[in-house]
Amino acid sequence: MSTVTTSPILDILDQLGIREENNGVSTGAETLSGAGGAISSFSPVDGSSIATVRIAGRKEYDAVVERAQKAFISWRKWPAPARGEVVRQVGEALRAHKADLGKLVSYEMGKSYQEGLGEVQEMIDICDFAVGLSRQLHGLTMHSERPDHRMYEQWHPIGLVGIITAFNFPVAVWSWNSMLAWVCGDVCIWKPSEKTPLCSIACQQITQRVFEQNQVPEGVSCVVNGGREVGEWIAADTRIPMVSATGSTRMGKAVGAAVGARLGRSLLELGGNNAIIISDRADLKMALLASVFGAVGTAGQRCTSTRRLIVHKDVYDELKDSLVNAYKQLRIGDPLDEANHVGPLIDRDAVELYLEALRAVDEQGGKWLVEGGVLEGEGYASGCYVKPAIAEVDPGMAIVQQETFAPILYLMPYEGDLEQAIAIQNGVAQGLSSSIMTADLHEAEHFLSCAGSDCGIANVNIGTSGAEIGGAFGGEKETGGGRESGSDAWKAYMRRQTNTINYGRSLPLAQGIKFDI
């Protein structure tokens, strides 16, 4: 890795152990040369080139997989509580580096410093969850129909887990997968977004120091930085029984097809087109805060960002006026300045997609309440800062059916009962996060019923973003159907085995079959 910036972030890189000799291909203590070329990390905050990172060629990739295979042979034999103790120490190391890693996330990705800190806290929380889980990897005991027999289920590590992550949560999503996989006895190969390579190197450095202190086998944690081809190698690799991929629906379909073709297992966290239903029985102050943060947090680049507001006609005008007024107060600028609400988009390609969406709204007949555009002038030199926008739309418009990874909020009324609002909400291809704002118990419970939201996440009186790690995270339909993080998501990283034990002195067969010789 070569550092080519004079930015103050250099001090942070040094604190996190990212130095010029680091490359983006690592099996832990061993850092490979990275013969596949290089990628540059640019900050959307000020346009600076932070560093150039060497990436993997096929030879380095195969070396990583081979090292991971060897590590798995011994790591799977560690008692699960012992693996959990290592993860506990990783959590402590993250606590010690929370400010530095949070600042790197903010600077390399562009989210606010508060959100960067929140992302690292999410990593710490999942470490805590995984530590407790390491003593609860339980199976079931069942009664056999045969005399003097017993049956039970147990769970074993699945092996190598490929983790493909997106730029918008450059560290948290990796931790959701890796911490659970590690306590389950798996080893992980991480392909991070090529837009945020330094965050992955920082996580590897923090983790590796803990691993070395505990004599964890080389290869339990691997990082392979690179472009699309690395993800394709992972998806097609029969040595990797499970692949967890986070990104666009288009990317997820390609990964799912490649993994499925070899009968592997995939965990997909894909697009979201999330809506908040605002009832005439809602607390409008709460609804306003949930809507604004959901729409502009991370500059609209969360998979759980609020894209659509479905508002009862009786409170529509009041909420609309409040939204417009709130947007006038948003401060857009350097995300490391905690006075600002909104930072930049990840890069200029994202800006172009934002502008395409604005043009589509115009072409399809939307009406702007708050107009968008690219910000220019002092403080906006990177060209990645845009104005959060609000448009009144028809729910059937093509652009409203799509996920636009930008701060564009679509506002639409409903005039009938809650069934109409739910139909509008469910009438898109994605099914990640949803919310209703209401003080009516009947509405709330109906929204959560089987006849209500069809999303993997359904909230009452909170927004669509900001999920906690205690619940399984994921969605339905074109969101992919995967579940990460809390609850029983650990089962995705293990293989289930049914055991039947005969402790008698005869061999009765199941279903009463007679077979005498």
Quick: pLDDT tens for 178-232: 999 999 999 999 999 999 999 999 999 999 999 999 999 999 999 999 999 999 9
CA 10 to chain centre: 27
CA dist list (Å): 175 to 203, 337, 342 = 9, 26, 25
By percentage, how much of the chain surpasses pLDDT 70?
Answer: 98
Please, is 450 exposed, middle or buried when counting C-beta atoms within 10 Å of its C-beta (0-12, 13-18, 19+)? exposed
Cα separation, 92 vs 337, in Å, equals 27
Query: Residue 176 — pLDDT band, cuts 50, 70, 90?
Result: very high
pLDDT number for residue 35: 79
pLDDT number for residue 8: 64
- The mean pLDDT of 270-285, rounded to a whole number, is 98
Cα separation, 328 vs 282, in Å, equals 23
Catalytic residue among 184, 199, 222, 303: 303
Catalytic residue among 108, 119, 269, 403: 269
Query: Residue 31 — pLDDT band, cuts 50, 70, 90?
Result: confident
Per-residue pLDDT for 48 more than 60?
A: yes
Per-residue model confidence as pLDDT tens digits over 288-339? 999 999 999 999 999 999 999 999 999 999 999 999 999 999 999 999 999 9
Whether residue 199 lies in the annotated active site: no
User: Whole-prediction pTM value?
Assistant: 0.96
H or E segment at 430? strand 430-431
Cα separation, 239 vs 227, in Å, equals 20
pLDDT number for residue 23: 83
Task: Compute the half-sphere exposure of residue 247: CA atoms within 13 Å on the CB side of its CA.
Answer: 22
Compute the mean pLDDT over every residue in the chain, rounded to the nearest whole number: 96
Bridge pairing between strands 49-54 and 2-3: antiparallel
Per-residue pLDDT for 135 more than 60?
A: yes
Contact 336, 357 (CB under 8 A): no
H or E segment at 318? helix 313-328
Collapsing DSSP to helix, strand or coil, 198 comes out as helix
Collapsing DSSP to helix, strand or coil, 361 comes out as helix
Whether residue 188 lies in the annotated active site: no
Bridge pairing between strands 476-477 and 430-431: antiparallel
Per-residue model confidence as pLDDT tens digits over 403-415? 999 999 999 999 9
Order of strands, sheet of 274-278, starting from the edge strand that comes earlier in the sequence? 367-370, 389-392, 408-414, 306-312, 274-278, 433-437, 457-460
Contact 106, 170 (CB under 8 A): no
